[in-house]
Amino acid sequence: MGKVAFVFAGQGAQYAGMGKSLYDTSAAARRVLNEAERLHPGTLVLCFEGTGEALSRTRNTQPCLTAVDCACAEALLEQGVRPDGLAGFSLGEIAALPYAGLLAFEEAFALVLRRAELMQACAEQNPGGMVAVLKLADEAVEAICAAHNAYPVNYNCPGQVVCALRKADIPVFAEAVKAAGGRALPLAVGGGFHSPFMAEAALGLRTYAQGLAFAEPTLPLYADATCRPYAAATAAELLGAQVESPVRWTELIRTMQADGYTDFIEVGAGRTLGGLIAKIGGATRIAHVEDAESLAETVQRFKEESAC
């Protein structure tokens, strides 16, 4: 077995009931979820019982998903499954900070709360939307974006790029995608994330992060914006840039594969990242942990592989 990576789920994966079975069965997961509740009262009710509408609001989504991402990681560590490196999709990158040793959980969670408020405010001031473009090469999507005041912001996998633009421009943009032979799927999100629409949020987060004392990483955390591991000296700048820069997920995963990572465990709600990694390809094994059942399956698999 090669190197093992934990990859932390991002915004859009949330659902009502997430984290509940781990809360009930894992002492480690319960501790981190209780800590999130202490830091931000109401988090557990939203995770376990929140409506889709409530969970889709950025100021709610981000702390809830971060809490669940970390609970899943803690449950794995409790069972003896440890990563050699880390990555996170957008918001998931913040959840990974404590596991890289850059920040304590309390500091990372406070950072997420600030990030969520800044991005929510920015989205309200600069109404934008996001559209997933399928079946086109990256270069074709970039050309359509350049002609329609849009931005390619999530390079998810070959043939799938998410773009940010003003909501009023989505119909014309979708027609241009269709004319080029692609498919456009508008996403139910609260803003045009990872684009210049988020410039004010990026500035605010960069300023906030400059007041934090980042430690040197104990594990490599690969950054969405650069596809290279974090360093303490540049962490604040990178966290600000991440908010307004594309998520280069395809390049990031290929970089990790080139660095020897063969096993990717998605931690957090849903199985989106595992699906993207499978489409990126390579000699890769994929697992996920989001509840007690998937935890047991993943732990058993790793015990069997370690015994071989």
Asked if 156 contacts 249 with a C-beta cutoff of 8 angstroms, the reply is yes
Helical spans, DSSP H, in the chain: 20-25, 27-39, 43-49, 52-56, 58-78, 91-95, 97-100, 105-125, 138-147, 170-179, 199-209, 235-244, 249-258, 272-280, 292-307
Q: Rounded distance, CA 1 to CA 263, Å?
A: 8
Q: Rounded distance, CA 179 to CA 46, Å?
A: 41
Strand partners, 261: 3
CA distances from 91 to 46, 99, 108, 234, 238 (A): 17, 14, 11, 18, 13
Residues carrying an active site annotation: 90, 194
